[in-house]
Amino acid sequence: MTIRSLKDRAAPGVRGRGPWFLCGMARKATVDALSLFDTLVYTCQYRLVIDPASHLAARIMEWRQALRERIGTFNEAYQMPGIVLFQSELPPEYEGPLADTIARGTAGFPPFALNLGGMVHGDDRKSIHIELGEKGTIAALRQRVVDNVRANRRIKKLGVAVEEHPRLVIASGLKADQFTTAWALLGNQGGMIQQRVSDVVLMKRELDTTSIDQHVRTFPLEMTA
């Protein structure tokens, strides 16, 4: 098929308006580029977290193992425990710039004590988590980091999901029958725990419910002189 035959098939209003085929190609190329990014670009989920104390982290992993055996899969079934500050779905080539922005955001933020309370559940009865104290301090740290991350326009454009209500999630995305079984197992667990937060950790995982977390980088909290 020739250019002339293509032009002959064009709508009457298109003729006589200059390089009609170039305009059409430009629009098509834009749509294709966005479509290709959505469907073909390999991405990972990145999460910035506050790690719980090692003994509590081990206990949470035991709880999650017990839940998997009783109720099957749920959102955190194969994740390492952590208090999520934000998460973002990015291609791996953004990992370095992301880490650099986090380092700038954590610079000069001092370590702090964190109190963890008992086991509670969401009002919608779809999640179970450990309640936290010092939410103001966590929010201040999160905001500093997120402001720096969003200063990178490419990362901001791809999306940064902020956890507005910090908590240590044990399980979420639970169906009604799953919640009933899970709460019966966990409802009387937990207790007052205090730990010192001296760093935050960037984790990544593939976008699959059974994928395993990978450690990317640890960012120390240090009071600058």
What pLDDT score was predicted for residue 192?
Answer: 87
Q: Which two tokens stand for residue 140?
A: 């201040």
Strand (E) positions, the chain?
A: 44-50, 83-90, 112-121, 128-132, 161-162, 168-171, 190-197, 199-206, 214-220
- DSSP for 61-101, please give it: HHHHHHHHHHH---TTTTSPP-EEEEEEEE-GGGHHHHHHH
What span, in angstroms and rounded, lies between the C-alpha atoms of 82 and 167? Answer: 9
Query: Which pTM does this prediction carry?
Result: 0.80
What span, in angstroms and rounded, lies between the C-alpha atoms of 59 and 49? Answer: 18
What pLDDT score was predicted for residue 46?
Answer: 98
State phi, psi for 117 to the nearest 5 degrees. Answer: -100, -145
Reported as a single tens digit per residue, the pLDDT across 108-122 is 999 999 999 999 999
C-alpha dist (Å) from residue 125 to 8, 28, 129, 162: 62, 46, 11, 22
Q: What is the pLDDT along the chain (225 residues), one digit of tens a residue?
A: 444 444 444 444 444 444 443 444 444 444 444 454 555 789 999 999 999 999 999 999 999 999 999 999 999 999 999 999 999 999 999 999 999 999 999 999 999 999 999 999 999 999 999 999 999 999 999 999 999 999 999 999 999 999 888 999 999 999 999 999 999 999 998 778 999 999 999 999 999 888 999 999 999 998 776
| Radius of gyration of the chain measured on its C-alpha atoms | 24
What pLDDT score was predicted for residue 225?
Answer: 61
What span, in angstroms and rounded, lies between the C-alpha atoms of 130 and 132? Answer: 7
Q: Which residue's entry shows tokens 């984790």?
A: 203
For helices 95-106 and 135-150, give the axis angle rounded to 10 degrees: 130
What span, in angstroms and rounded, lies between the C-alpha atoms of 120 and 187? Answer: 7
Domain assignments of the chain as residue spans, ordered by start: 45-220
What CATH fold (topology level) applies to the domain 45-220?
Answer: Cyclic Phosphodiesterase; Chain: A, (3.90.1140)
What pLDDT score was predicted for residue 37?
Answer: 52
C-alpha dist (Å) from residue 177 to 35, 38, 72: 38, 34, 11
What pLDDT score was predicted for residue 208?
Answer: 86
